[in-house]
């Protein structure tokens, strides 16, 4: 505790940790931000950011000028907020909690009676009350009596991080029956949405089922899209008409799902249990949309071997540079395995240094191409000109996985257009 109030140490300065640290700092707290990657820490000290959100850059920069310090080691604090990665190891079919454990060990060395620790990383249910509690209590302090241990998940959408950090409802769960009041007061400093409280395991579970719900519903939309092609009808028109019913709200189909949440979080639920799950089926359906796009290309081109295909969009969603779990890179890899001679990627938002593939300009990517696949719903792509594409491409095939294009106009220009 300083003269300016409680101190905070944020562990992990990635997509969630950095804006969270900045939010606390710009709310008047003294914040120490630690990340285990020294190169990342150095870049932050020089205000070099990896995200493409102008408002977020200004917001973080202001925090760095004022209450947020980038530190080389975790520091003692009244509140420790853990925002470290929790990757899912598909080969081992389990969540990698090593970063959470490492952060817990660092915190345990600093803890004093009365301190609070809150985990924000996405984890399997029971992690906070189980493995993290075990690590924290190596300090000799009890999570039931001496320190406050809790869980509070983030629910932000890249591209709208600041608005959602402030405006989304916040869920806080605690361990050992402890009162959540101190954590509620902490987040109430910037959260304008409702703050709800429960136990830590329930809070962990809620985070996962929110994204599993979306995954399952996207899978249904993707199944509708496949069935529509079987019947030779327009999936988007069918969905729009179905949604006229007051109790029906079918989502939009697409090339699959990306980002760190929806494709990964449902796996945290299925790990370690034998219950047959709709969730697993949804994961299979959404991952399988890559194969469906291949089928559309094969139907249009006759065969894929020896062709040139241009993918429009690398990011997993429109208007951002985020490539985590993006379907585009999976499509590129599988098209190469299918014998496509030249797969070209283009994206106006993504830095070429972030991907292993060469990134082309749209013009360069289209020269001599047999087909183009619109993968990402970038706002820029809605105004693409079929005449400009026709003047550069060798073939006239467009696979529009987002239904962004004026199909009639493209077909009048001579294109075979396939929409998901």
The model's pLDDT over 119-137, given as tens digits with 9 standing for 90+, comes to: 999 999 999 999 999 999 9
Predicted confidence band of residue 5 (pLDDT cuts 50, 70, 90): confident
Predicted confidence band of residue 88 (pLDDT cuts 50, 70, 90): confident
As given in the structure block, the two tokens for residue 242 are 């179905």
Closest CA to 403 of 208, 242, 224, 255: 255
Task: Tell me whether strands 68-71 and 30-34 are parallel, antiparallel or unpaired.
Answer: parallel
pLDDT for 203 equals 98
| pLDDT over 80 (residue 96) | yes
CATH tag for 233-419 (out of 3.40.50.2000, 3.40.50.720, 2.60.34.10, 1.25.40.10): 3.40.50.720
| Span 299-327, average pLDDT | 95
| 207 classed as catalytic | yes
Tens digits of per-residue pLDDT, 217-275? 999 999 999 999 999 999 999 999 999 999 999 999 999 999 888 888 888 887 667 77
| Span 327-348, average pLDDT | 96
Predicted confidence band of residue 291 (pLDDT cuts 50, 70, 90): very high
What percentage of the chain has pLDDT greater than the value 90?
A: 85
| Span 90-113, average pLDDT | 92
Q: Which fold has domain 7-200?
A: Rossmann fold (3.40.50)
- First CA to last CA distance, the chain: 56
Q: Which of 9, 83, 207, 396 is catalytic?
A: 207
| 261 classed as catalytic | yes
Q: Which of 9, 261, 317, 396 is catalytic?
A: 261
Start and end residues for every CATH 3.40.50.720 domain found in the chain: 7-200, 233-419
Q: What is the average pLDDT score of the chain?
A: 94
Tens digits of per-residue pLDDT, 17-47? 999 999 999 999 999 999 999 999 999 999 9
Predicted confidence band of residue 3 (pLDDT cuts 50, 70, 90): low
Closest CA to 11 of 81, 67, 66, 75: 81
| Span 78-90, average pLDDT | 93
């Amino acid at each position: 505790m300083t003269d300016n109030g409680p101190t905070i140490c944020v562990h992990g300065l990635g997509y969630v940790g950095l804006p969270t640290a900045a939010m606390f700092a710009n709310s008047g707290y003294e914040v120490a931000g630690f990340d285990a990657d020294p190169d990342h820490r150095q870049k932050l000290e020089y205000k070099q950011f990896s995200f493409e959100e102008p408002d977020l850059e200004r917001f973080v920069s202001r925090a760095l000028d004022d209450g947020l310090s980038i530190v080389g080691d975790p520091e003692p604090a009244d509140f420790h907020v853990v925002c470290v990665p929790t990757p899912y190891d598909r080969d081992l079919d389990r969540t990698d909690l090593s970063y959470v454990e490492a952060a817990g060990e660092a915190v345990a060395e600093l803890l004093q009676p009365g301190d609070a620790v809150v985990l924000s990383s996405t984890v399997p249910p029971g992690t906070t009350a189980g493995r993290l509690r075990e690590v924290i209590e190596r300090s000799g302090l009890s999570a039931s009596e001496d320190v406050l241990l809790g869980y509070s998940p983030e629910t932000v959408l890249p591209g709208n991080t600041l608005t959602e950090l402030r405006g989304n409802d916040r869920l806080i769960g605690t361990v050992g029956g402890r009162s959540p009041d101190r954590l509620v007061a902490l987040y109430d400093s910037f959260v304008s949405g409702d703050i709800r409280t429960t136990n830590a395991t329930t809070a962990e579970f809620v985070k996962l089922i929110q994204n599993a719900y979306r995954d399952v519903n996207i899978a249904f939309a993707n199944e509708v899209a496949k069935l529509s092609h079987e019947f030779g009808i327009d999936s988007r028109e069918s969905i729009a008409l179905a949604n006229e019913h007051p109790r029906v709200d079918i989502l939009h189909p697409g090339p699959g799902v990306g980002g760190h949440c929806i494709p990964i979080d449902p796996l945290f639920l299925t790990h370690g249990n034998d219950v047959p799950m709709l969730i697993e089926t949804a994961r299979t359906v959404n991952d399988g949309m890559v194969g469906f796009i291949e089928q559309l290309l094969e139907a249009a081109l006759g065969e894929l071997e020896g062709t040139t295909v241009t993918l429009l969009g690398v990011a997993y969603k429109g208007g951002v540079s985020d490539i985590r779990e993006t379907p585009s890179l999976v499509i590129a890899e599988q098209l190469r395995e299918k014998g496509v001679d030249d797969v070209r990627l283009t994206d106006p938002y993504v830095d070429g240094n972030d991907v292993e593939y060469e990134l082309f300009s749209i013009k360069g990517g289209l020269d001599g191409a047999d087909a183009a696949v619109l993968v990402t719903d970038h706002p820029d792509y809605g105004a693409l000109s079929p005449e400009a594409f026709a003047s550069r491409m060798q073939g006239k095939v467009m696979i529009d996985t987002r239904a962004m294009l004026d199909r009639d106009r493209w077909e009048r220009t001579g294109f075979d257009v396939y929409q998901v």
